[in-house]
Every structure is written in C-alpha cells, then in structure tokens.
Chains A and B, each alone.
Chain A
C-alpha cells in the first residue's frame, strides 16, 4: 500500500495566548499533514508579531481571502466573536471544515447565534483537547483492553473543570446524554457534582479544579479492577480486585509519556510531541500547556486522518457539555440546551436525594412540629425524592416538581431539612 501525500491547508483565526500556546504548535507538530496558509486576527497590531514569529502569512481581511484554497479553518477567539467569524466564512461553508475552540458558546444568546451557522459547514470539530490528554487516552486504552472489566464509575478529584470534565466522562459512554445528576456543596468553596448514564456508568466530579497543581487525579473503577493515580490506594482495596496505577514516565525528570502498571500488565503511551513542542521556545512551556498541545494534536488528527474518539464529538456535543456542566455547577435544573441531543437526552434531569432517617417534606422552612398535617409529608429512611430543580436555602433545600418514590406531590415547592438527607 502506497500512501498518497495529502497535506491540508489550514487558516487559523485568532492570535491570542491559546493560538500561540497550542494551535500553532500543534499544527507545526503535524506539518507533514498540514500547511498553515494564513493567520487572521482583528487588528494588525495583534496579528503581525504572531505571524512573523511563526513565519506564516498574515491575513488582514477574511472577506477578501480566497477561502476556496483552504481545507480547514481553526477558530480560537472569544466566544462572543465566534458568530462573527462564522458569518464571514459562510460563503465557503459548503467546502470548509471548521475546528472551533471550547467553549463554543458561553451564553444561550451566543448559542442561538452560532448553532445555525455551524450547521451550514461541511464539517465541524470541537477542539475539546482535555479528554485527549495522553493520560486519559491511555486510561481509555487500558479500559478497552479489558484490564478492569466494564468501567462502572469515574471519579475526578480536582481535575474535572466543567465542560472538560463532562466531555472526559462522556467519552466512556459513547457521548451518551446524562440521565441524572446531583450536586452537593463542600462548604462555600467547592462542589461535588455527580452524573449518571443510561448504561449504568456514573461519574463524580470533586471540586475545586486544581489541574494546574499536583495532587488530585482520577479513579476509574471497573467490574473487576480499577485504575488510580494514587499508589496508596492499595492500602484500602480488596485483594480480589486488580489495581492499576497511572503514572507519568519521565526521563531526567522530564515528562515523556504515561504508563499504567499493575496485575502483571503494563500499558505505555509515549508522547514524542512533548519534546518537539519543548523545542519551539513557547512562552508557556509548562507541562499542563504542553499536554493541552498533545490533546489538540489528537483532535486535529481526527479531522481528516485518524479515526479516534473525536470523530463522534461534533459541535452539538461540545455545546451540550458546556451547558449541562454549567447548569450542574450552579445547581439549577439541567435542561438539554435547545434540544442539542434531542433524540437521546431527557429534557429535564431529575435531582435526587435519599432520606437518611424519618423526616418530612414541608410546605415551608418552619419546624415540622409547627406545621399542620396538610403542610408536611412524612417520609421514611430510604425513601427517595427527586425534583426537576432544587435551590439551597441555608440548612433547607427548596424542591420544585418534587416526587417521592416516583409519586408526584401536590403543589409546586416543598422543603427538605438537609441534614436528614443523603445522596441517592
């Protein structure tokens, strides 16, 4: 088999820190597959120094640039500008593939502006690099090899930033929609957010986000073993379950890849692009930034060449993760934003709590003893309440559209006394 050379032409829109730190280095690492045919930014003052530093043509006006010579436009601009850029590219939409940075839209107004435009392009890939970090790719690879049986749950300790965390979680489920979610506050600073999926997989994101620091990590539990980043977990687990440790490979202290070892097995992933990016003299050569570059390279490879997990991650998926994770972090009812995954996702995801002891649902926050019989509903330990929305009010939580053990309740708002309730 003789492969034909197929070098694609890419135009990059944006010249900010993300473009300089990740997009340009990533495309340079893929220069056997891509030629950067231009770089565009809104002002010459911003554009010229970057174009000169990287030796690429500066494109001052998208309107006069011949887009018919371009295969791919990579967009990394503030979310409020995405619709403006997409509009300018629209005349060539039928032949153009778009690579657009995350989040694609930060507000529902931006979502409404971008979505119909994105639908008109030949293809759209979202630059969701996080789930493609080498460590996470290796964890998925190890799971797929069957090392731990069927994955049951994923916990992200301080490493699950909103949409990045949810995208990583959903990469295990074929990007299936969340079917249930819950949130619990950790004092005033952090939150725990849980997600559940139709295949029985569940995930927990423990905040706050601290990926830029050491510590935290992931724990993926399967039906017959688990993968952890903390070797000390061996002290707490049953001998019947195989434990595998995800660890960085370093040479002279420099990160070169990752390994998963345990149970007589060893799976490794080398990251040669790390060394290449280190040689580019990037302003931000931190490990985290270089890993972002590695993740982005995987995303870019999926556009025209490799068939990896990003093939399934289009703009609807990116928008879904942005908005569902946003709602989850706020503790609002989660809607499938604008029906992004309409066929698969429930419109409203129920919040769920389980009574730890006998207690009451109450029509107000008054003590139950002060309420009349019609103003309180007795529940027993183990009863489950779910609601379409919750709002924490001191030591109480207001529930909207509440049901007990699946039975609808009269009225619109009921209150629970938080200490009596745990997670279902």
Chain B
C-alpha cells in the first residue's frame, strides 16, 4: 500500500507538477551534447526509418556509448528533484513518422487526447512522471506535444486550457502522466525525434526492468553509484534511501496559451492500456 506524500513533502518542482501537471526544465543538454547524442543515433534511426515509430533502447544507448550522456549529472538532478527515489520505467529515444494526418498514438481517441492509465494517480503526489527532451526542432506541425492542465479526473471538454510545447531541439519539460495529453499529428516533412525518460517512486514495481533490452544494459552498468542504483531499479522491493539532487532544479511554470480543439471528450476517454493496474 503506497502512502502518498503531502504537498509539504514535495520539492517546488514536484509541487508544480502536482498542481499544473507540467513543468518546464532548464536546458539539460548543451548544443554540443545534443550533437553527440544525435550523431550517435543517426545511423540506427536511419536503418529503422521504415517503421512508423522507431526506437533507440537502453541497450542501444549502451552500445553507442551515450548512456552516460543521456543519464548525465544534469539529467539526474532533474529526476532526483522530482522525486527522491526515482526508478526508470521508460528510457528510450524515438522517432515518429512524418507526413501524418493523425496523432501517432491513440488516434482513435478524440484528437488523440488521453491519460496514461499504466500510471497510478494521487492528487497531490506525482508518483509517475515523464521527462521529454526534444532531439529535433518541433513546430506546430511537427508532432508537437500538447497538454491539458485541468484536473485530470474531470472530463476533457472542448475549450479546456491547454499548452502546445513547440520549441527547438533541446527543449525539456516534465509532465504528470495522469493529466490529459497528446501528440498532435506530425504533418511536417521530418521525423520527430525525442528522448523520453519516465520515472516512478521506488515502491512501484517497474515493468521496464524485466525487458531484455534493459537487462542487457543493466549487465554492463556497474553497481555502486547510489543514484544510478536507485534509478536502475537495483533497490526495487527494498526501502531505497532518499537522494537529494546535487543541484535542485527551479520550476518554471508555463501558462496555457491555447485551448483543446476536439469535440467533447467523454469522461472515459482514456487509453485502455491500463487495464489491470500493476500496482493496485
């Protein structure tokens, strides 16, 4: 039984996540870092561009020699600012195909808007959070991530306040997975590439750690770094020590500048992948 944190126990960034659902992050990677990440992944993505959605997984990152850069001190500061014992449950870069008229995911939902039901929801405690870093420039037609900052358990209505996260490669933000969100269609001519790192409190079992592509990576990362040991799930099932970020990330709030433009979304318009929550 998970004992939810109160607002008073949260860092300022986590508090913004609990209230608004989304927080802008300072640049995690420099131009030089982004160049190295993309240069390393270009060949692999090029070989997979026939796929609508193509991935570079943790074992690929290990093989490409960029895992240390992906999980850089600046990224660890972000993750450990959001929660004191984050465990990975997504770690990949992915591309979505260009020239699409539909969102790449949940296109059967109104406008593609959905909540992630594989994540637990506690009103004042963001237990499941994703960090996105754009690895390509994302304009309004490039599969931009869109987010509704309303109370997540209320029905999503047309005209609800929303934000559209356009920006240059390197733009980084964290978002609460229980809030409504979507990827707008990537109508542009280029595949959209981003880095996705999702984390959850250590008390929730991470299904990611069971994947072969993660096991292969884990086998090569030596134990002994306290933060990485928590993040890589080596303390799952145990009381993980809480770690503070070396440098606390100051939250930057973003105001909704747009509204949801779909026909009324029914209260149940959530994705179905959460059938049988693994944590309850």
Contact = CB atoms under 8 A, between A and B. Distances in A.
Contacts of A308: 167-168
Most B CB contacts (10 A, CB to CB) among A147, A151, A307 go to A307
A1 B259 contact: yes
A150 B36 contact: yes
A145 interface: yes
Interface string A217-240: 000001110000000000000000
A319 B39 CA distance: 33
Nearest to A174: B30
A208 interface: no
Contact of A171 (B31, B41, B167, B261): B31
A199 B167 CA distance: 25
B184 A150 contact: no
Interface stretch (A104-112, A136-144, A332-340): A136-144
A144 B170 contact: yes
Interface of chain B, helix or strand or loop or mixed? mixed
A216 interface: no
Contacts of A147: 39
B59 interface: no
A212 interface: no
Contact of A309 (B33, B35, B162, B168): B168
B119 interface: no
B32 A151 contact: yes
B70 interface: no
A146 B42 contact: yes
A311 to B, nearest CB: 7
A201 B34 CA distance: 14
A148 interface: yes
Nearest to B247: A343
A1 B143 CA distance: 12
Contacts of B31: 140, 143-144, 151, 171-174, 309
Nearest to B260: A1
Interface stretch (A2-10, A186-194, A396-404): A2-10
A219 to B, nearest CB: 16
A312 interface: yes
Nearest to B35: A143
A298 to B, nearest CB: 10
Most A CB contacts (10 A, CB to CB) among B33, B140, B164 go to B33
Most A CB contacts (10 A, CB to CB) among B32, B34, B39, B166 go to B32
Contacts of B35: 143-146, 148-151, 222
Given A174-B30, A201-B32, A4 B259 contact: yes
Interface string B22-43: 0010110111111111111110
A1 B168 contact: no
Contacts of A61: none
Interface in B242-267: 257-261
B39 A146 contact: yes
Contact of A312 (B27, B140, B164, B167): B27
Contacts of A284: none
Contacts of A1: 140, 146, 162, 164, 184, 258-261
Contacts of B30: 172-174, 176, 199
Contact of B39 (A149, A307, A312): A149
Given A141-B137, A151-B31, A173-B30, A2 B261 contact: yes
Contact of A149 (B29, B36, B136, B259): B36
Most A CB contacts (10 A, CB to CB) among B38, B39, B140 go to B39
Contacts of A375: none
B171 interface: yes
Contacts of A144: 31, 34-35, 38, 169-170
B95 to A, nearest CB: 13
A148 B260 contact: no
Contacts of A312: 26-27
A3 B41 contact: no
Contacts of A311: 27
A150 B27 contact: no
A306 interface: yes
A137 to B, nearest CB: 9
A308 B170 CA distance: 9
B257 A4 contact: yes
A224 B169 CA distance: 21
Most A CB contacts (10 A, CB to CB) among B31, B40, B170, B260 go to B31
Given A307-B168, A307-B171, A145 B259 contact: no
A155 to B, nearest CB: 15
A306 B137 CA distance: 11
Interface string B1-40: 0000000000000000000000010110111111111111
Interface of A: 1-4, 6, 140-141, 143-151, 171-174, 176, 199, 201, 222-224, 306-309, 311-312
Given A1-B258, A144-B31, 7 more contacts: A1-B164, A1-B261, A2-B259, A146-B39, A146-B41, A151-B31, A174-B27
11 contacts: A140-B31, A145-B136, A146-B37, A146-B39, A146-B41, A148-B35, A148-B39, A201-B32, A306-B166, A307-B166, A309-B168
